[in-house]
Amino acid sequence: MNETQKQNYRARMAVAQLFRSVLNQNDERAKLMKRLGVDTMPIIVPALGRTLASNIREAASRHFESGEEHIIVPVCLPSHKSESLKLCVLTISTGDAKTFWQLDMNDLHDSVEMAQVVEALDSNKKWDVKELDSQQQQELKDLATTV
C-alpha cells in the first residue's frame, strides 16, 4: 500500500469512527435500525467525496452476495456554505426503500464520485445530513492521524 492509499484508508476509517460515534448519541442507532426495519446493524462502508461510486458499488455487491440486505454509506464532504464538513448517510439496499429517494447504483458511470452522488440528490429528499460541529471536525482530523 503506497502512502496515498494509506492516507485514504485512514480518512475513510475516521469517517466510519465518526459515524459510529454519531450512532451512539440520542438513540440514533435504534432509530436508524427501526427506519430500515432491521434487527442488526447493517454493514458500514465509509466514503469520502472523492471515493468512486463504482468502488462503493463493488463493496456493496460483495456484502449483498453474502446475504446482507442493506449497506450504510456515510460520506464525508466539505460544506459549500462554510469551512466545515458535513456527513451524509446513504443507504444501499437490495430491495425498494419506499420512504427514500432512490438511485440505482448500477446506472452510475465508473468515474462518478460519491460527492456527485450526494449532490445529485434533491436537497429536500436527502436524509441524515448533518453539519459537523467544530468538535466533530477536530475529532475527524484526530482520528485520521491516529487510525
pLDDT tens-place string over residues 11-46: 888 888 888 888 888 888 898 888 888 899 999 999
Say if residue 80 is exposed, middle or buried (CB neighbours under 10 Å; 0-12, 13-18, 19+): exposed
Can you read off the three cell numbers belonging to residue 113? Answer: 464520485
b/e per residue 81-99 (b: at least 16 CB within 10 A): eeeebbbbbbbbbeeeeee
Reported pTM = 0.77
